[in-house]
A and B are shown apart, each in its own frame.
Chain A
């Protein structure tokens, strides 16, 4: 089978090798190239973000103007998108008149979503043993309870029993150790994923 997009593959591999070598060996002729490529990548990512935002607007516009099954909730998106874009372009993000869009609209909404998330987590944890009965689930719930108690601040006073405090502190190290092991595994997976891209095995850029 012929290779898909050989030029794009060659460019990706070449740029990746230069950036990697420039990171490992900050030689005078490699470092500027690496910085240049990174700048290009940042610019391209920013442009991609802009294109994706426009695509998001297009999707909601199509939902709103669909001949049937119109999604009228998209109207809220459009009504929020256009003023924010116009004001941001005209006034800039540092203007005092822009801040309320974030502090008075975005922040409460996201905070409420997090509050909802708290309730969702609580319900999911409550029903975990009912939906997935296993010793791992039991261990997960026990670890959660320990973390909650250790993080509540109840045992940070002198009046709290030292045995309980020390026990909770010791038990709370176990999730940390497990998290570190998980992070190591994720790091290895990330390394190999990057190598696959670098070797041209994975080509998400090719069509």
Chain B
């Protein structure tokens, strides 16, 4: 038996997919829509450049959400960012390092690193040890990542993924080492902590706009566009439901 919620969910999915494809194709023919400036990504570009210039390492931590978990979307965003940043900083003396708190995510990070190096004809630079699992529980994952901030000569930390409040420990370690930190998570607990602990926190769905800001492709820009449209749809739905509920029609 197909419920009304199932139909609504299917309609939303198909509508979103259609918009995504439409905008993706349209973006290839039209000039890009502008993204509102986010100082976090402007600072990130500068931090990456400085990292390459100074020969320091760039550390991207992907969280502890596996690919079978509901929070895997943030991990996928982190992988996109990892691929892009690896391509940008592939000429650095110290290639980027990716850490994660889940096994499948660690393997995916290795796969992303390998694919990026291969696409840039620098497969010899690939080192599987740079896609690393640091712990299988949230706190052990962060505890395993903290020494990297001290020992690996990291100047830029990117935290894109799903964490708990324990991510604040890594931020503190990075701050002590005078490193740049950009953090984005889909976890409310982590967002609350990162707002105070990270230098450049991303709030809310800004996490999912990260690939678009990192210029990974037109599809990600289209995704941001569709996300805006859907958000307006949710706002309209909330207002309508409130009005109808107030009128007793709902």
Write the residues of chain A forming the contact surface with B, with a CB cutoff of 8 angstroms: 4, 20, 24-25, 38, 41-42, 44-46, 48-53, 55-56, 58-59, 62, 71, 73, 106, 109-110, 113-114, 116-117, 120-121, 124-125, 128, 140, 179, 181-186, 188-199, 201-202, 204-207
Q: Is the CB of B106 within 8 A of A204?
A: no
Which of A20, A195, A201, A204 is B16 in contact with, Cβ under 8 Å? Answer: A195
CA distance A57 to B168 in the complex (A): 25
**Residue in contact with A195 in the complex, picked from B9, B20, B188, CB distance below 8 Å:** B20
Question: Number of residue pairs across A and B with beta carbons under 8 Å?
Answer: 186
Contact B106 A48 (CB under 8 A): yes
Between A and B, 15 residue pairs with Cβ closer than 8 Å are: A41-B68, A53-B136, A55-B106, A55-B133, A56-B132, A106-B137, A113-B169, A120-B169, A184-B231, A186-B205, A188-B230, A189-B186, A204-B108, A205-B111, A206-B115
B interface with A by C-beta (< 8 Å): 2, 6, 9-10, 12-13, 16-17, 20-21, 24, 66-68, 70-71, 73-74, 76-77, 79-80, 100, 102-104, 106-108, 111-112, 114-115, 118, 128-129, 132-137, 139-140, 142-144, 147, 151, 165-166, 168-169, 171-172, 186, 188, 191, 193, 195-197, 203-205, 207-209, 217, 219-220, 223, 226-227, 230-231, 234
Q: Which of A52, A71, A117, A205 has the most CB of B within 10 A?
A: A52
A186 and B204 in contact, given A117-B169, A191-B16, A195-B13 (Cβ under 8 angstroms): yes
Contact A182 B230 (CB under 8 A): no
Quick one: which of B106, B128, B168 contacts A120, CB cutoff 8 A?
B168
CA distance A207 to B227 in the complex (A): 28
Pick the 4 closest A-B CB pairs, nearest first.
A49-B103, A189-B208, A185-B205, A52-B103
- Complex: A51 Cα to B111 Cα, angstroms: 13
Q: A110-B139, A124-B197 are in contact. Are A199 and B21 (CB under 8 A)?
A: yes
Contact across chains for A192 and B208 when beta carbons are under 8 A apart: yes
User: A204 touching B79 by the CB < 8 A rule?
Assistant: yes
Task: Judge whether A52 and B107 touch: CB under 8 Å.
Answer: yes
Known: A20-B13, A41-B67, A106-B137. 4 other contacts (CB 8 A): A49-B103, A117-B169, A186-B204, A196-B20
A125 touches B143 (CB 8 A): no
Chain A residues with CB below 8 A from B193, complex form = 121, 124
CA distance A162 to B35 in the complex (A): 47
Contact of A48 among B104, B166, B217 (CB under 8 A): B104
Contacts of B137 in A (CB 8 A): 106, 110
Contacts of B219 in A (CB 8 A): 196, 201-202
Q: Which residues of B contact A121 (CB under 8 A)?
A: 165, 168, 193, 196-197
Q: Smallest CB–CB gap between B166 and chain A, Å? A: 6
Which one, B13, B80, B106, B171, contacts A202 given CB within 8 A? B80
Residues of B within 8 A of A4 (CB): 115
Q: Is A44's CB under 8 angstroms from B108's CB?
A: no
Query: In whole angstroms, how far apart are the Cα atoms of A117 and B133 in the complex?
Result: 22
CB <8 Å contact, A25 and B226:
no
Are A207 and B118 neighbours in the complex by a CB distance under 8 Å?
Answer: yes
- Interface residue from A110, A182, A206 paired with B188 (Cβ < 8 Å): A182
* Contact status of A59 and B129, CB under 8 A, knowing A116-B169, A184-B234: yes
Nearest-neighbour CB distance to chain B for A106, whole angstroms, equals 8
